[in-house]
Amino acid sequence: MAYWLFKSEPETYSWDDMVREGVGGWDGVRNHQAQNNMKAMKVGDRGFFYHSVGEKAIVGVVEVAETHQPDPTDDSGKWGMVKVRALHPVKTPVTLADIKADPDFADLPLVRQSRLSVSPVPPEAWKKICKMAGVKP
Tens of pLDDT along 21-69? 999 999 999 999 999 999 999 999 999 999 998 899 999 999 999 999 9
* Average pLDDT score over the chain: 97
Mean pLDDT across 79-101? 98
CA pseudo-torsion sign 97, 88, 61, 72? negative
How much is the pTM?
0.96
pLDDT at residue 84 tops 90: yes
Report pLDDT for 114: 86
Report pLDDT for 78: 96
* All residues at 6 or more sequence positions from 53 whose CB lies less than 8 Å from its CB, including other chains: 9, 10, 11
Mean pLDDT across 81-88? 98
- Residue 19's pLDDT band, with cuts at 50, 70 and 90, is very high
Residue 68's domain comprises 3-133
Taking alpha carbons only, the member of 43, 40, 85 closest to residue 61 is 85
Tens of pLDDT along 113-125? 988 999 999 999 9
Q: List C-alpha distances in Å: 129 to 9, 33, 67, 98.
A: 20, 23, 24, 10
What CATH number should be reported for the domain holding residue 92? 3.10.590.10
Burial class (CB in 10 A: 0-12, 13-18, 19+), 67: middle
How many domains would you assign to the chain? 1
- How far apart CA 47 and CA 65 sit, in angstroms, is 11
